Structure 1
Amino acid sequence: MENELIKIEDLSMTYGKKIALTNISLSLTSGKIIGLLGPNGSGKTTLIKILNGLLKAYHGNVLIDGQPIGVHSREIISYLPDESYFLDWMHAKDALSMFRELYSDFQYAHCIELMTRFNLTPEMKIKSMSKGMREKFQLCLVMSRKAKIYILDEPIAGVDPAAREVILDVILNNYAEDALVIISTHLISDLETIFDEVVFIKEGKLIMHENTETLRNDRHMSIDELFREVFKC
């Protein structure tokens, strides 16, 4: 049975005079992988930050697992930002300890197993990792939580094509079947086969929320082709 894990009603937000989101209403249920798609500046990152409690000056209602954003939502959302948030002095083992202290659902041993797949060790200094290595490490941390909701912002943007298949495998095989996974990406052709639904956002407005198979059958095109058609200049 599907549970409504995210319910958004009439969500709007501005940065000064710049409109970031306008009257977004959206319901996302458990057991789905959702592609959050839109060009740069469409409002995707703003929406993600609101869901994670990082932005609060918005209008409208947002419920996570039936509750307002707060302690409970932080406990059940595992978030992969599109930028590294580690301090320069940290080694991987320091970040592992931080996650183990912050999140009761963090599986330390499982994270070490995932890191091994990417040739990462706890002794590595994070600052000396390449961008791709840092992204892989952060993904290992995020996918080692037993969360209800995973929000991944550009999880394959900084890695080479050869590693993307492994990253997809890590994502697909490390969450419970009744969890909700939201993936924001520009690399649609690499990820669209795993999406159950897609959400298109354009200039801060929700323009589409559909089942991917329905879209492919009705439009006779891939999600990547549809994206290019909807957002062409």
Structure 2
Amino acid sequence: MRTDTRPGPLAIPPAPDGSAPLIRIRTLTKVYRRTTALNGLDLDLPAGRIIGLMGANGCGKTTLIKILAGLLADWTGEVAIAGHAPGPATKAIVSYLGDADFLDSALRPEQAIELYARFFADFDADRARETVRFFGLPADRPLKEMSKGMGQKLQIALVMSRRARVYLLDEPISGVDPAAREVILSGILRDFDPNALMLVSTHLIADVEPIVDSVVSMSSGGILLAGDADDLRESHGMSLDAIFRKEYR
């Protein structure tokens, strides 16, 4: 298996209006002690796309998303989001869902919404309440009395209710049953701004395949495949899930 650090001929197509990529990454490298998590990554991500960031556990997906979210330092290379390096300016336009619970387990949905409204100027509380109702979450129960799937839905309702330019979702459907995955993905897409960029990290390719426009597949800290989802399916004659399984075999 060959892992290239550049997208090459299968690069994600630019935005239809020819605008500059919303996210631009050049020679991005991140090393944890003796382990290289990202190895000279080059990538352009345009606005107006839902992009699946795919790959096996440990391939560098979470590291990349945390760098874009401004949560990791000590990396080398260039990263620009709307022309700014990760930091306060980008956090104002990036909405991030991490791979761990980030809410106080004693909070009820309305309390969580009020908390988010105080922290984020672009947060739409009414939109969050509508999404909570869409998910059918109990208004009178704290997070600690909810199932894992319910807690995941509440966190997604909050993250997706910011009027952000970039949404970074790290494994939003991991650890929940298939029925819950479908509902969560439907909630993610509700009222999504078509001019925004969403980067969805997952190893559950088959579940997210119906919603992604483009794909970045990672392996060993580099790019294995990158391109338009329909183009990849057509050129390989198989589903994204089947391509992924073949490439990682």
1:49 to 60, 66, 69: 66
The count of corresponding residues between Structure 1 and Structure 2 is 232
Alpha-carbon contact 2:135-2:187 (below 8 Å) kept: no
SS in 2 for 1:68: coil
Q: CA deviation at 1:227?
A: 0.2
Contact 2:25/2:80 (<8 A) preserved: yes
**CA spacing shift, 1:51–1:20, aligned 2, 3 Å:** same
**Aligned-partner residue type, residue 182 of structure 1:** L
Q: Give the match's secondary structure for 1:67.
A: coil
1:166-185 pair list within 5 angstroms: 166-185=183-202
- Is 1:92 aligned with 2:106? no
Cα distance change, pair 28–17 in 1 and its aligned pair in 2 (3 A): same
User: Does structure 1 conserve the Cα–Cα contact (< 8 Å) formed by 2:169 and 2:200?
Assistant: yes
Which residue does 2:40 correspond to in 1?
Answer: 23
User: How far apart are residue 97 of structure 1 and its match?
Assistant: 1.8
Q: Is the 8 A contact 2:109 2:139 kept in 1?
A: yes
Which stretch shifts more, 168-177 or 194-203? 168-177
Match of 1:70 in 2: 87
Higher mean C-alpha deviation, range 156-165 or range 23-32? 156-165
Write the distance in 2 (CA, Å) between the matches of 1:101 and 1:49.
23
Q: How big is the shift at 1:161?
A: 2.0
| 1:61 corresponding residue in structure 2 | 78
Equivalent positions of 1:106-145 (< 5 A) are 106-145=123-162
- Distance in 1, matches of 2:136 and 2:230, equals 36
| 2:212 paired with 1:195 | yes
What 5-or-longer segments of structure 2 have no aligned partner? 1-16
CA-atom RMSD, angstroms? 1.4
How many angstroms apart in 2 are the aligned matches of 1:177 and 1:3? 17
Deviations 1:18-38 (A, max 9, x none): 111100010000000100011
CA distance in 1: counterparts of 2:69 and 2:59, whole angstroms: 18
TM, length-normalised to structure 2: 0.89
1:13 aligns with 2:7: no
Amino acid across the alignment from 2:195: D
- State the match for 2:5 in structure 1: none
CA contact (8 A) 1:135 1:158 kept: no
- Deviating more after overlay: 20-29 vs 186-195: 186-195
Asked whether the equivalents of residues 30 and 36 of structure 2 are also in contact (C-alpha less than 8 Å), the reply is: yes
- Give the conservation status (yes or no) of the 8 Å contact 1:52–1:74: yes
Runs of 5+ consecutive residues of structure 1 not aligned to the other structure = none
1:171 maps to amino acid? I
Taking every aligned residue pair, what percent have the same amino acid on both sides? 43
Which position in structure 2 is the counterpart of 1:209?
Answer: 226
CA shift, 1:188, in A, is: 0.8
TM-score, normalised to structure 1, is 0.95
Alpha-carbon deviation of 1:122? 4.3
Separation of aligned partners in 1, 2:221 and 2:195: 29
The answer on whether the counterparts of 1:143 and 1:174 sit within 8 Å (CA) in structure 2 is no
Q: Secondary structure at the match of 2:203?
A: coil
